[in-house]
Amino acid sequence: MLKIQLVSAFLILGLGTLAYIFFSKESDVSAASKQVVCGGSVTKQDPKAPKIIKSKDLDFFDADFCISKRYGTFGYDFYHFIVSFNDEGKLILLEKNTNTSCEADTSIFRKIQQVIDECNLVEHNGYYHHTAGLPPEYDTSSLTAKYASGEKLHFCYDVGPDSRYALELLNIFFDEYEKKDVTALLPPPDSKVVKQFKFRFAEDDNVVECAQIVVHDEETDKEFLNVYIQIWNRKENKEVEEKFGLATDDFFKGLQELVKSEKLFRFDNLNGGLSDESSKTPCFYEFYIDYKYGNRLSGFSTKKEDFDKFKVVLDKFVEYIRQTATSDEYVLK
């Protein structure tokens, strides 16, 4: 009798184990996520998901992601954007969390595809990774792009806040809302006003610095804001060039347009500036852009490959600043 009970017990245990193994192999990622305990993680890769998508003709896009608040407050904003055709054949841009929508130009798909290509997002196709118990800003973000050809790009993983592709997509969507005069999601207009800036970098033996300085006129007891460019030869320890110009409202507006057109946020690493030792390296750059509402773009690097990428953009800012900074003396007006 005891043998029969033991056999029955082992049989039940064995069947239960087989059932667990069978159901734990479900390919559906939602089923996989249910198995995760706090702190545990699940990683899956769809073997059928292609790493090359030939079509560039998008007809549906869906992405959710997290972005740091950058307008005078701390915290995070969570977005879920959908770009799709409605029943009337109109292309609609929808932010699902706030139900903010507008009719979008078909060119928005071309811009989204450009981000997909530049950020090589297709390499993540079919990838799923989820870690339980992370703070909301580090929870999984997903992206789905469907093409007229029937091809599909989809991934879902713990990308974290402020990923490059998310920042670029957000700018595309905000630009579309702005064009259609839909302001619910847009930052305050004054938040785009640059308050102060600094660019500093080393090229060969020279250290170049561009920034603004407050100049006090003793005769009139008035203060004037100047923009300047200074070049210092660190090998010979002497100044090579120093030029000044009046920093007007138009100057700062032009600077902000350049920040936008050159996508300066791509170099924003939010990590402050260089140490004294770091700035002695053969090659470095650092910058910050401060806005009226307290938000900031800032970045730095001592890596040559980073500098080479940034230098293309940096040259345009230096050229722009040189157009104003033409005087050998402070400009008082």
Tell whether the model's pLDDT for residue 274 goes beyond 90: no
Domain membership of residue 21 (yes or no) is no
Pair (162, 198) in one structural domain: no
Pair (225, 263) in one structural domain: yes
Counting the structural domains of the chain, the total is 2
Give the position of tokens 């192999």: 25
From 187, 217, 232, the end of a domain falls on: 187
pTM of structure = 0.63
**Pairwise CA distance, residues 137 & 132, whole Å:** 13
Note the pLDDT of residue 96: 97
Enclosing domain of residue 260: 190-324
Domain membership of residue 312 (yes or no) is yes
Tell whether the model's pLDDT for residue 219 goes beyond 60: yes
Pair (207, 278) in one structural domain: yes
**Pairwise CA distance, residues 320 & 251, whole Å:** 9
Tell whether the model's pLDDT for residue 4 goes beyond 90: no
Pair (195, 317) in one structural domain: yes
Measured CA to CA in angstroms, residue 40 lies from 28, 34, 140, 231 at distances of 18, 11, 14, 53
Note the pLDDT of residue 17: 41
| pLDDT tens track for 65-110 | 998 876 555 678 899 999 999 999 999 999 999 999 999 999 999 9
Tell whether the model's pLDDT for residue 22 goes beyond 50: no
Q: Phi, psi (5° rounding) for residue 51?
A: -100, 0
Lowest mean pLDDT among 47-56, 64-73, 204-213, 250-259: 64-73
**Pairwise CA distance, residues 61 & 109, whole Å:** 8
- Looking at per-residue pLDDT, the higher value among 98 and 12 belongs to 98
Pair (95, 166) in one structural domain: yes
Distance in Å from the first CA to the final CA of the chain: 107
Pair (194, 174) in one structural domain: no
Note the pLDDT of residue 16: 45
Pair (246, 155) in one structural domain: no
**Residue 297 pLDDT grade (very low, low, confident, very high; cuts 50, 70, 90):** confident
Pair (217, 312) in one structural domain: yes
**Pairwise CA distance, residues 110 & 125, whole Å:** 19
Which residues does 23 contact at the CB level (< 8 Å), separation at least 6? 31
Domain membership of residue 219 (yes or no) is yes
Pair (67, 183) in one structural domain: yes
Domain membership of residue 226 (yes or no) is yes
Q: Phi, psi (5° rounding) for residue 160?
A: 80, 170
Pair (173, 232) in one structural domain: no
User: What percentage of the chain has pLDDT greater than the value 70?
Assistant: 81
Across 212-236, b (16+ Cβ under 10 Å) vs e yields: beebeeeeeeeebebbbbbebeeee
Which residues does 290 contact at the CB level (< 8 Å), separation at least 6? 194, 195, 196, 197, 296
Domain membership of residue 48 (yes or no) is no
**Pairwise CA distance, residues 225 & 248, whole Å:** 8
Domain membership of residue 258 (yes or no) is yes
Pair (206, 141) in one structural domain: no
Note the pLDDT of residue 31: 42
Pair (66, 122) in one structural domain: yes
From 163, 187, 211, the end of a domain falls on: 187
**Pairwise CA distance, residues 75 & 68, whole Å:** 6
137 token code pair: 């800003």
Identify which of 43, 51, 46, 44 has the alpha carbon closest to the alpha carbon of residue 122: 51
From 139, 155, 187, the end of a domain falls on: 187
Average pLDDT, the chain: 83
Q: Phi, psi (5° rounding) for residue 312?
A: -60, -40
